[in-house]
Amino acid sequence: MLRIYDTRTRKAETISPTSGVVRMYSCGPTVYRFAHVGNLRTYLLSDLLRRVLEARRTRVRTCQNITDVGHLVDDAETGEDKILLQARAEGRSTLDVARFYEDAFRRDCAALNVRPADVTPRATETIDLMIELIVKLMEKGHAYAVPDGSVFFAAETFPTYGEISGNRLDALKPGHRGEGVDPRKRFHADWALWKQSGRDFTWETPWGGTGFPGWHIECSAMSMRFLGEHIDLHTGGIDLRFPHHEDERAQSDAAAGHEVVRHWVHGEHLLFDGRKMAKSTGNVVLLQDVTDAGLDPLALRLAFLEQRYRQQVNLSWDILRAADRTLRRWRARVAEWAESPSAPMSAGHATRVLESFEDDLDTPAGLRVLRELERDPAVPPGAKFETFLHLDHLLGLDLSSEIGKAPALPPGAAELLGRRARAREARDWAAADRLRDELSRMGVKVADTPGGQTWAVGR
């Protein structure tokens, strides 16, 4: 069974399905710019959880929102909407900008083999759900409207606020959100569910006036509508713990009358060359930058797998290039092993890899088992082939992509390659040289690398 660290309980919890299916909600992108590689690491988290659960034949239903309205600059309570600001900068309509960056996000996820969620609702297309939820919160006494048509959540009506981040209401200082205290609020830590506005891109409300939703209410409304009031997993980046996930939890639980999300899971920050990724520091790296550097986009996925999701990672171009070399070597090996006689999968290695992934996504441990399998002379090439392809359902690295691209090995060459690999493991260099010469006469050129031997036919 999958065990994963729960941010709210501060310990690893076993994930078991509710009513036969694990329901997982993932905070999606605000579509006003290209996602950088740090953002993409967070979206890989939910993909890995889904793959691990499905490896044990657990049904998973996933939902990931698209925020195309309501997310203000610097995540503040006041100010400009990020998408409106970008639309003005680019001289395009708000929806044009939102759809452009949404499409770019989907392409990046596809390039990383991050599978799309079962449901991907957009905020602009689910405003009715948010208004319905706000009305329910008002009726239950958890929210209040002010004369201008804005609506605030009454934070003091939710006494367990702060269980995710540790930021309790009695410790929050006025102005903690980065602006002065709004005089319309009954309590300084209340937050806006709906913002009255006369700008473009607004909707009418039953309590009067026009406006647009707050960022936090979007996730509460969409998660409960598409997954129900019992959600097993909720994922996101560590920066969303506060205020976004604290506010979301308060809204959802107050409306439902019980704990909606069983487990909150957060991925850590990504640094690049030792610095946080930001425009101001000039080190924002996009997936397009990775491919422009001649690297396979899945080298980025492999580089992420080399580290635990809860570990702050310092990525660099050297790390990406090393991951690219490993990826290409594994694909060449799989293509090489495909020419060998079929053999049963190495169940012991496969089980160890899966158990590593199930242990709070200890992906580095799983990769160490793979490297051990790659070098193990006791495992036939055909068994390595079956095992690597089976585990690629977890890894998502397209390890079979080189099969059939290279010329087939001549009859008997696969056996000689296996014998030569074992000779090198035994440090029998004379035998390894003799076998290389024999392979060369068959038209198979063999080269030795730090990762082991590689081969090519007719080159």
**CB-based burial of residue 11 (10 Å sphere; 0-12 exposed, 13-18 middle, 19+ buried)?**
exposed
CB 27 within 8 A of CB 247: no
Instruction: Answer yes or no: are the C-beta atoms of 353 and 391 closer than 8 Å.
Output: yes
Report whether 306 belongs to an annotated binding site. Answer: no
Q: Residue 313 pairs with which residues in a beta bridge?
A: 270
Cα-Cα-Cα-Cα dihedral sign, residues 440, 442, 445, 446? negative
- Checking phi first, is residue 91 left (phi over 0); if not, alpha (psi -120 to 50) or beta? left
Cβ atoms of 205 and 214 within 8 Å: the answer is no
Beta-carbon contacts of 103 under 8 Å, excluding residues fewer than 6 positions away, are: none
4 DSSP assignment: E
140 is in an annotated binding site: no
> Exposed/middle/buried for 89, CB within 10 Å: 0-12, 13-18, 19+?
exposed
> Of 348, 410, 413, 338, which is closest to residue 378 (Cα–Cα)?
348
Taking each helix axis from N to C terminus, what angle separates 317-337 and 381-395, rounded to the nearest 10 degrees? 130
> Do residues 241 and 266 touch, judged by C-beta distance below 8 A?
yes
What kind and span of H or E run contains 89? helix 82-90
Asked whether residue 90 is marked as a ligand-binding residue, the answer is no
Residue with tokens 């596809």: 110
CA 253 vs. chain centroid, Å, equals 25
219 labelled ligand-binding: yes
Tokens of 100: 């452009």
Query: What Rg do the C-alpha atoms of the chain give, in angstroms?
Result: 26
Phi and psi, residue 13, nearest 5°: -120, 145
Q: Is 109 labelled as part of a ligand binding site? A: no
Per-residue burial over 258-283, b = 16 or more CB atoms within 10 Å of its CB, e = otherwise: eebbbbbbbbbbbbbeeeebeeeeee
Tokens representing 211 are: 């406006």
- Point out the annotated binding site: 27, 219, 244, 248, 279
- Point out the annotated binding site for ATP: 279
- Point out the annotated binding site for Zn(2+): 27, 219, 244, 248
